[in-house]
Structure 1
Amino acid sequence: MLPYLTNAGTDKPANTLNLAYKNLEEFNYDDDYGEDLKISNELNNIISNIHGESQLIELYALNDKKSGEKPILRKAGSIQQNCLRLIKILNNISDLRKFEKEHLNLCTSNVNIVEIVENLVMNTSNHTKGKIIFDTNVEEKFMTCDINKFQKSLLILLSTALKYSKGDEILVKLKVFTDTIRIDLSFSSKNNRSVDFFKDKMDKPSFDDFDNLSLDLILCKSLADLQKGSISVGGNGKETFFSLVLPCENNDSLHYLYKKDLDDEYLNRQIQIEFSDLLNPYD
């Protein structure tokens, strides 16, 4: 079980953060909510960072420091990233709660999945220092898909790969079969136990090590299940790969119109949120 927000109706960001933390604590009343306690601690650390760094900026302003703008910009960037991290955690908790209650629904359209993946890889590469290579065995494949949930799943896997990769190169392969598609993300592992590490985080996280990665991978698996797909982890010691498999039903009904215009503005915002653990524009 995961917590959800019960208090609402406040317009002040500071009050919203305090209420969010308070709401999470309300659900930590027995052993079944051990995961909630871990998430509460994560949120507490982030909020503390936001508070401390905002105090430093306030001190600069009060003393009218003239030592240059770089330290201020760096701290401002850190505050923004911590806010995005907080948004990411709360969004993930909310989505998982909806999934548990069977309130998380698909909003599908007929799309060229090759174009969707290629566009996501290109935009992600523009935001990160890593080199992400896209490869496919077809030029186009139309299928019924919830674009936002599909992109969310893929962004979680990409951010995990970049964070735990020994190098800067990630290979994304899209393969189309008769009734399924498979997307493989492969990268050089930092250690030879990474496959077991990721499997434990996704399938059976313990109380002692339940963290943001566990939350990310559990949500990713839930989103794949919602779309009648699957997520798996494999590797050979030196290389690790995530595989996302989805059914590729092509519905020709007028209810599923092909969406040509890609919402890059929304996608870029999602990239900033999903990669908030890795990115700071002022570093």
Structure 2
Amino acid sequence: MKILKHYKNPYVEQSTLPIILIVLFVLLSEKNFLLFHSIVEIFAVIISFSLALIALGTVKISEGSYFTYIGISYGFVGVINIFHILTYKGINLLASDPNISTQLWIFQRYFEVASLLISFYFIDKKVNYKRLIAIDTIIVSFFIKIILNTDIFPECYIDGQGLTVFKIYSEYIICILFAYIIYLYYKDGGKHIKYNYVFLIYSMVFKIAGEYIFTLYIGVYDSLNTTAHLLNFISFCFLYKALFKSTITDPFSTVFKNLRDKAEELEKSNEEILKAKEKLEAEYERYKKVLNFLPEGIIIVKDEKIVYCNCKMLELIGLNPTDNLIDKSIYSIVEQEFHESLKLILNNDEELKDKSLEYKLKLMHKSCDVEISYLYMDDKEMSYYVFAVRDITDRKKAEEMRNIIAQKKKEEELNNEFFSNVSHELKTPINVIYTALQLENRYIDTLGTENIKKYNKIIKQNCLRLIKLVNNLIDITKIESGFFQPKLKVKNIVSIIEDITLSIVSYAQYKNINIIFDTDSEEVYVKCDEDLMERIMLNLLSNAVKYGKQGGVINIRIYNPKENFVTISIKDDGIGIPENMISKVFERFEKVDSSLSRNNEGSGIGLSIVKSLVEIQNGNIAIKSKVNEGTEFLLTFHEEEDKDITIMVNMERYTYEKNMIEKADIEFSDIYA
């Protein structure tokens, strides 16, 4: 079955009411022309006022000022038309002369056509509607007053004779001007006035036709006058249609069309956004799987807050995959001692850039060592840090085990070297003593006194050597256990060093070594243990003699390197120390020549004890040396202002010097003359 659809023609619907009104007006004109004239003109007035109200109501939303200007002007056309109605022949409310009504009609036509011409000026310009209303009010009021109260305005109608020449030619001029307006509309072609210019042209055509017919009637109630008024009514209908469509229908249609277009665009955009969202979510899940697959923990930090972490990161700090670190402070999972370095990273410290740092993470009951690498990201939307966290707990444990093994190995090597040195140092003097005693026993009857003294001297020297070794072992044990306590007193260090230097002159003479003692001041006081200073100086001087050149020089100097400090320099011109061994000479059992066939004897613990004895007196020891040029030891102590004015009596001085010689004998016991 075929269904027929009925389509409505909008032009037919819109023209129905005007046609009905025209038919009614024609019928009414035949019955009562005066009533017909009044109703037709009232309709024209209503349309004029409607146009004015529409124009004023759409000033803010109107795209241009063209139709605003026309609407306001037609409001004043309606005002003039009211006066025309009230002065029309038969109404006679304001005047009884039909000429006045005709004059008002001509003035209305001139005002209308002038307004239409001026309106083209405002196609691309804004009109000040308040100023326009004021100007039109002045003009209309002025001419109405002239027409009603004076004879200045030219006559347009003479009762019994008809229209005047002025009226007829005015209508022709008005027709020409309306025709020119049609030309202007046609020339514009809808560029500025858009599609409604067609209705304006129709309106102007009917106005021209009406104006021409208005030049033909003789009597006020002629049929030609009726026709002209109907044509004028039709022109007003087209004008209303044009203005209403331009200011109300078209803008809102455009708005609704734009809204529909925007709605369609938004719908399409929404669909695209949904697709993009789905794609992003899929990408996010893929990247999330990749990040969770990585063997390293990943944290993203923004403004010191954690905004993302993968499953491995949760595992590192002992959390379940269902637990959450989001929005927690990055500092909350890092040990306190590492907060400062972490703060430097978050402040973009250039020194830490592209470096891997070691931290300790903690959360509740679990902690672990980690290595952190980071990447700073700064884009237009946000800036953040990406941290890659690697668990190095096992590596740390392995390093600790390696360090322990290395330490144990070193200790074993030290022990082996110690026992080797001690056995050598013990066996050598014992063998010498034993050999000397055997010789004495074998040749005791034949040996003279001098030979016995010689062998006894050898026995004594080696006994002293054993005493020195035992003393060193005891002292190093005391120092390690913390039982070695110095007896610090303020002493004149110059006097102490000078006495020690004098006590070893005889040993230096064995190698023709010249000893030079020099001081910047005769009295320099430091807080020290005198016995320990003797041990220190005797050890350093014995090394200077032992490793000094035959016929060389040993310089001992006391001076002030800077205020409140004193330095003791012991410098020889001997064999020196290789550069790679300088940092090791103060280590226990370390010797430049550790072979059993070495030229000079020694256990390798003397300088280690010297360093310890200097430091427990709040001093400092340093070394300078070059191979074949010599070695210099520098002892630095804080200078004191308080002075010990103790003076030794002769007996005490004798005992002190005797003890000094005995100590020197012990310290120099491994140097054989």
Shift of residue 271, structure 1, vs aligned partner: 0.7
Structure 1 residue 117: Cα displacement: 1.1
**Partner residue, 2:416:** 34
Distance in structure 1 (CA, Å) of the matches to 2:647 and 2:526: 13
Q: 1:198 to 1:275 in 2, by over 3 A?
A: farther
Work out whether 1:55 is the aligned partner of 2:438. Answer: yes
Task: Tell me whether 1:243 sits opposite 2:634 in the alignment.
Answer: yes
1:3 alignment partner in structure 2: none
Matched, 1:169 2:560: no
* 1:123 paired residue number: 503
The answer as to 2:658 corresponding to 1:270 is no
In 1, Cα distance between equivalents of 2:501 and 2:530: 14
Give the superposition deviation at 1:198. 5.5
- CA shift, 1:217, in A, is 0.9
Is residue 582–residue 625 contact of structure 2 (8 Å, CA) maintained in 1?
no
The residue matched to 2:555 in structure 1 has which SS? strand
* Bigger-Rg structure (1/2): 2
- Conserved? CA contact 1:110–1:259, under 8 Å: no
Which residue identity does 1:260 align to in structure 2?
I
Specify whether residues 33 and 265 from structure 1 end up closer, same or farther in structure 2 by C-alpha distance, changes over 3 A only: same
Q: How far is the alpha carbon of 1:169 from its aligned partner?
A: 1.7
The Cα offsets for residues 90-130 of structure 1, whole Å up to 9 and x where unpaired, read as 11111111000111111122211111111211222145413
CA distance in structure 1 between the aligned counterparts of 2:626 and 2:428, rounded to whole angstroms: 36
For residues 546 and 579 of structure 2, the distance between their equivalents in structure 1, rounded to whole angstroms, comes to 14
Partner of 1:224: 614
Structure-1 residue corresponding to 2:240: none
User: In 1, distance between residues paired with 2:436 and 2:449?
Assistant: 15
- Does the CA-based 8 Å contact 1:162-1:168 persist in structure 2? no
C-alpha separation in 2, matches of 1:106 and 1:142 = 17
Among 43, 47, 55, which residue is 2:426 paired with?
43
* Structure 1 stretch displaced more, 51-60 or 199-208: 199-208
| Amino acid across the alignment from 1:56 | L
Partner of 1:209: 594
CA contact (8 A) 1:195 1:240 kept: no
Structure 2: distance between partners of 1:80 and 1:87: 10
Larger CA deviation: 40-49 vs 104-113: 40-49
* Structure 1 position 131, deviation (Å): 2.0
Kindly tell me: are residues 157 and 41 of structure 1, through their superposed partners in 2, closer, same or farther at Cα, counting changes over 3 Å? same
The answer (yes or no) to whether the contact 2:526–2:637 under 8 Å persists in 1 is no
For the residues of structure 2 that align with 1:204 and 1:83, how far apart are their CA atoms? 23
Aligned-residue Cα RMSD (Å) equals 2.6
Relative to structure 2, which stretch is displaced further, 265-274 or 48-57? Answer: 48-57
Deviations along 1:152-179, whole A, 9 cap, x unmatched? 1011000000110114320001113422
Could you state the TM-score of these two structures normalised by the residue count of structure 1?
0.77
Task: State whether residues 201 and 213 of structure 1, in contact with CA within 8 Å, keep that contact through their aligned partners in structure 2.
Answer: no
The alignment status of 1:178 with 2:536, answered yes or no, reads: no
Residue 91 (structure 1) aligns with: 471
Deviation at 1:74, TM superposition (A): 2.3
| Cα 1:196–1:140 shift into 2, 3 Å | farther
Cα distance in 2, alignment partners of residues 138 and 218 from structure 1:
30
Question: Residues of 2 paired with 1:195 and 1:153: CA distance?
Answer: 23
Q: How many aligned residue pairs are there?
A: 244
> CA shift at 1:204, angstroms?
6.4
SS in structure 1 at match of 2:671: coil
> What percent identity do the matched residue pairs reach?
28
The answer to which of 206-215 and 169-178 deviates more is: 206-215
| Structure 2 residue matching 1:143: 3-state secondary structure | strand
CA, structure 1 residues 127+163, in 2 after alignment: closer, same or farther (shift >3 Å)? closer
* Per-residue deviation, 1:35: 4.2
2:670 and 2:552 mapped to 1: Cα distance? 16
CA distance 1:244–1:196, shift in 2 (3 Å): farther
Distance in 1, Cα, partners of 2:515 & 2:434: 35
Deviation at 1:212, TM superposition (A): 2.2
* CA displacement at 1:37 relative to structure 2: 0.8
Residue deviations 1:203-241 (CA, integer Å, cap 9, x gap): 365599297252111111111111121222213442321
By relative contact order (CA 8 Å, sep 6+), the higher-ranking structure is 1
Q: Which residue of 1 aligns with 2:13?
A: none
Q: Structure 2: which amino acid aligns with 1:174?
A: I
- The change in CA–CA distance for 1:209 and 1:270 in structure 2 (over 3 A counts) is same
- Structure 1 CA distance, aligned partners of 2:556 and 2:427? 35
Aligned counterparts of 1:212 and 1:76: Cα–Cα separation in 2: 22
Q: 1:49 to 1:279 in 2, by over 3 A?
A: closer
TM-score w.r.t. length of structure 2: 0.34
Distance in 1 (CA, whole Å) between partners of 2:580 and 2:545 is: 18
CA–CA distance in 2 between the matches of 1:184 and 1:60? Answer: 49
Which one of the candidate residues 255, 260, 264 is aligned to 2:647? 260
Check the 8 A contact 1:124/1:271 in 2, yes or no.
Answer: yes
Alpha-carbon distance in 1 for matches of 2:588, 2:503: 32
- SS of equivalent to 1:189: coil
Q: What is residue 65 of structure 1 aligned with on the other side? A: 446
Counterpart of 1:112? 492
Alpha-carbon deviation of 1:193?
4.1
The verdict on how the C-alpha distance between 1:106 and 1:206 changes in structure 2, with shifts beyond 3 A counting, is closer
- 1:70 CA displacement: 3.8
Q: Greater CA deviation, 131-140 or 40-49?
A: 40-49
Q: In the alignment, what sits opposite 2:529? A: 146
Structure 1 CA distance for aligned equivalents of residues 455 and 552 of structure 2: 26
- In the alignment, structure 1 segments of 5+ residues that lack a partner are 1-28
